[in-house]
Structures are given as C-alpha cells and as structure tokens.
Structure 1
Amino acid sequence: MPRRRFPSDRSRKPLGAAKLDELALAYVARFETSRAKLLRYLSRKIRESEWTDERDAMAACEAVADRMEALRFLDDRQYAAMRAGAMTRRGLGLRRVKAQLFVDGIADADSGEAIAEAGGQAVAAAIGFARRRRFGPFAVRTIDDPQVRERQVAAFARAGHDLALARRILAVPLGDEAALAALDDAAGLD
C-alpha cells in the first residue's frame, strides 16, 4: 500500500539577511562556485523560508554575493579555468565545456581564457576520451561494423568533440604505432 504524503505541519523557518550571509559563507566554504550558482542557491533558500528582513530579499542576495566577491571567496574567472580544466582532463570537448560554463552562469568575459585553453587541449581531450572508452586505436579488437563506428562518433559528439576529429581518431587502425605517435604529437602528449 503506497504511503500518503501529508503536508508538513511545521511552518517555514524565518530567514533574515544575517542568516542568509551565514548560509552563503557555508556554501562557498564547502563548494567552489560561481556567482550565479551562489545566487541560485540563496534564492532557493529564500523561497523555502519565510523572509523576515525589511530589505528586499533579492537585493540582500546580491549584497551577499558582492561581499563574497570582495572577500575573494567568489571568482568567476578562476572558477571557469578550474571547471574547464577538469572537464578537458575527463576527456570532454570544447562544446561541452562552453555549455557547462554557460549553465554555471559565467559571463563571456570571464570564460574567454578558459575556453581558449580548452580549445588548445581539444585533441588531447579527444584522445583521452577515446582511450578511456576504448574507441578506435585503443579498442581491444578491430571493429568493422559501420553502425558501431557511428555510435562511437555519436559518443564523441555527445562529449562535445568535433566530428572531424572523432572520425580522424577512429580511422587510426588498431596497433598502428606511427599513427598513434602522430596523434600524440598533435595533442602535445609525451
């Protein structure tokens, strides 16, 4: 028999500017975050609580975010570099990096260097992706089925890689050390 959910009999907890500041400080201490993500978190806390301060709630959120930036707990440029670097090391491509930085609310001015760095690492990220997924020259056995090859190209596309680069990597035959060395040279790998 399914359990029925009854509305909570507890009233919403009061929330003021001081408590909002404490919540923000705890959040930035625990997570590396962007200004937009912090504002989303604080606005959600306001929606879940009863605002008791006489100031406007959203103005209080902005003031808290400004304070966190002044204390250098928030730095969107540094966050973008960290996030883009982590994603390229995981083997994700430039389109995925751009999309994630957009979702995280990073402005174009703050994400420019990180995106340029991810673009410079595109070949290395694609090779790392192929190596982890055992695609192309890193496969256990040769794959001749064109449908499997197209699914692998689709996996590269979902990871944010350029289709031409994906096809170039997948075209390298299994065990061709010279072609692997050429790919590694293009990526700047040792």
Structure 2
Amino acid sequence: MNDQAARGTTAGGRRVAGPVPDRASLRATALAHLARFGTTRAGLTQVLERRVQRWARRAVEGGELSENVEARAAPLGAVIEQVVAEMVALGAVDDAAFAGSRARSLTRSGRSRRAVQAHLAARGVEADIVGTVLDETLGERGQDGQEMELAAALIFARRRRAGPFAPVPEGGEDAVSGDEEAVRRRKALDAMARAGFGRATAEAALDMDPEEAEDRIIRMKSA
C-alpha cells in the first residue's frame, strides 16, 4: 500500500470515498453505535444516513460526478429502513424503553415534564409513545405526576441555589431587604417558567421548608 492509499487520499491529495455502503457495512455501523449509545428508531436512522452522506461527500471530493454519487446513494434509503427494522426486531432499539429511561434520568436532574416531553419529541419518539411513557414513568397529571414535578422543580431550585436552597446572607436573613428578596424570587420564577415548570409548582418549590425539600428529593431519587 502506498502512502496516499494509507492516508485515504489520491495522488492529487483528494480523499478516497471507498466502496459505497452496503447492507453489511450499514449493519456494522448500527451495531457499533448501539454498543455505545441508546437511541430511537429515528436516531439510528439519522446515524446511518450520516454514514451514507459522509461517503457521498468523499466520493464527490474524490472526483466522482455528483449525479452519479446521488444515483448510487439513492437505493440506500430502503437498506437503512431494513437495517433499522432488524435492530428493532432484535430488541436493540426500543423507543418506549429509551423514552422511559431518559424520562427518569432527566426528571432526576431537575427537568420539567414539559422539557422531558420536548426532549423525547426531538429524539424522534412518537407522541403517543411519549404520552404513555410519561404517565407510566412520571405519573399521570394527577397527584403522582404533581409530586414528581414538584420534586423535579426542587432539584432545579437547588441547582440555582434558590428558594429553600438559597444561601443565608452574612448578617442573617434580615440583612436582605424586601426589594432584594422580591427580585431574587422573580428571577427564580422566570427561570423555572423558562424550564417548563408551572407557576403553582414553582412557587410551591420556592416556598418549601429546606428540610422537607431535601426529603422530597431523596424520596424521588430513591423511588
């Protein structure tokens, strides 16, 4: 093998695309990705599409006509669908399981239900799966769901050192004027609103006794 081939370039310095991806190479790419990351059907499809796009780009950079590259890449869409379907059949890709795991992880890091829902939608999880998983994982929008949302809001407040987690100022709480406290509270409420927490939940979190707040977080994370 000459130096250019070893570097993956032509004599003119252009990159070599290599053979067009086939079912075997796309399946190998899928398995390698799944060995390291959890993902959804849509996520795996994007991984494989990017694999084809990289090949196509290198082929054009290597001197192939773009129309010829497009013609060779076009049939690979169906191949990608087949590989993804195979991974689903093997159980390596499970949108509901992915959504449940991610929902629990995000909630325990202080994400609101609305933020979790948006995250899962962005990962390509279908809306009906998202709704079912959130009800099963975080509780329906009744008492159980409200308790989980409140615990997530408390974790968010703790990260921002707000509400029950605000540091005691030098000189004690009396050293902070009412106006300063009002500004801090408004900023915390605005941040929680942007994070997707409802006003009632945010206020309940900010007004909670520190000991009870910590206890609720511990109970949620140990559930």
TM-score by length of 2: 0.70
**Whole-angstrom CA distance in 1 between matches of 2:83 and 2:115:** 30
Matches within 5 A, 1:66-105: 66-105=85-124
Give the greater-gyration-radius structure (CA): 2
Specify every segment of 5 or more residues in structure 2 that has no aligned partner in the other structure, as ranges.
1-11, 57-68, 140-144
Please name the residue that 1:44 is paired with: 50
Q: Secondary structure at the match of 2:167?
A: coil
**Selected match of 2:206 from 153, 170, 178:** 170
Cα RMSD (Å) of the superposition? 2.8
**Selected match of 2:154 from 127, 132, 144:** 127
Q: CA deviation at 1:9?
A: 1.1
Pair 134,182 (structure 1): closer, same or farther in 2 beyond 3 Å? closer
**Whole-angstrom CA distance in 1 between matches of 2:86 and 2:132:** 25
Contact 1:124 1:184 in 2 (8 A): no
Please name the residue that 2:164 is paired with: 137
Following TM superposition, the consecutive aligned residue runs of length 4 or more in structure 1 with deviations greater than 6 angstroms are 51-55
CA offsets 1:82-139 (integer angstroms, 9 cap, x no match) = 0100000101101100000000000123222322233521111111222232210111
1:158 aligns with 2:194: yes
Q: Secondary structure at the match of 1:10?
A: coil
**Whole-angstrom CA distance in 2 between matches of 1:55 and 1:137:** 58
Contact 2:45 2:84 in 1 (8 A): yes
Pair 69,53 (structure 1): closer, same or farther in 2 beyond 3 Å? farther
Number of residue-to-residue matches in the alignment: 178
**Whole-angstrom CA distance in 2 between matches of 1:91 and 1:182:** 13
**Whole-angstrom CA distance in 2 between matches of 1:132 and 1:47:** 40
Please name the residue that 2:63 is paired with: none
**Whole-angstrom CA distance in 1 between matches of 2:30 and 2:156:** 36
Pair 8,133 (structure 1): closer, same or farther in 2 beyond 3 Å? farther
TM-score by length of 1: 0.81
Please name the residue that 2:25 is paired with: 19
| Bigger mean CA deviation after superposition, 149-158 or 35-44 | 149-158
**Whole-angstrom CA distance in 2 between matches of 1:37 and 1:8:** 34
Contact 1:81 1:113 in 2 (8 A): no
**Whole-angstrom CA distance in 2 between matches of 1:8 and 1:147:** 61
Specify every segment of 5 or more residues in structure 1 that has no aligned partner in the other structure, as ranges.
1-6
Q: CA deviation at 1:42?
A: 0.7
CA offsets 1:133-178 (integer angstroms, 9 cap, x no match) = 2210111125642332222112212332222211222234xxx46x
* Identity level (%): 35
**Whole-angstrom CA distance in 2 between matches of 1:8 and 1:163:** 60
